[in-house]
Amino acid sequence: MDDSLYLATLKYLGYRPRSEKEIRDYLRKKLAKINDPYVEQNIETIIQMIVVKLKKQRFLNDEEFARMWVRSRTEFKPKGRRLIQLELKQKGISAEIIEKVLYQPEEALVSDLDNAIELLEKKKKKYEGMERQERFMKSGNMLARRGFDLDTIRRAIDVVFEK
């Protein structure tokens, strides 16, 4: 195994935590650029060796990655669970891990409704001068883009703008 490839992967992990799928995709792309018959025949073996080493050294853990992803998506830039779930699937996180980090009671995540209300409260001034219908449409669209479902959007708008 080439140490420079391993070190490049560590550097890639240094920017932000990554899922195993992201690391595998990164390594596949890096290895595809190497014009060597041995590498071309053993791409998956090389990738597996690096992934195993990263896991052993605890640089790679999909469950921890998913927890961090959910935490950042709910605390810093609130998004709905539906959108977070889609993002995690795109990152290659298994359905079991997604279920565990998004829907298990011990995770104590803020509810989608609370997140939507908090987000609308921050943007309230922007929508206050508008007529009721326009305010509903614009604030509703903003929440929908963030992955909140229709029922949550309606309830959040009712709470923030007091029907």
Which distant-in-sequence residues (6+ apart) come within 8 Å of 163 by Cβ? none
pLDDT the model gives residue 63: 94
Please state, as a whole number, how many other Cβ atoms lie within 10 Å of the Cβ of residue 46: 21
Domains of the chain plus CATH, in order, are 3-56 (no CATH), 62-107 (1.10.10), 112-161 (1.10.10)
Res. 100: pLDDT tops 60? yes
Q: What is the mean pLDDT of residues 61-77?
A: 88
Pick the closest to residue 69 from 99, 102, 96, 95 (CA basis).
102
Q: Is the pLDDT of residue 103 over 70?
A: yes
Residue 35 φ/ψ, nearest 5 degrees:
-95, 80
Token pair, residue 117, equals: 């209300």
| Residue 1 pLDDT greater than 50, yes or no | no
The model carries a pTM of 0.75
Distant-in-sequence, close-in-space partners of 139: CB < 8 Å, separation ≥ 6: 120, 123, 127, 153, 157, 160, 161
Q: Which pLDDT does position 98 carry in this prediction?
A: 93
**Do residues 148 and 112 lie in contact, with contact meaning Cβ atoms separated by under 8 Å?**
yes
The lowest-confidence range among 32-36, 110-114, 124-128 is 110-114
51 CB-near residues (< 8 Å, 6+ apart): 20, 23, 24, 27, 60
Sign of torsion over alpha carbons 117, 119, 123, 125: positive
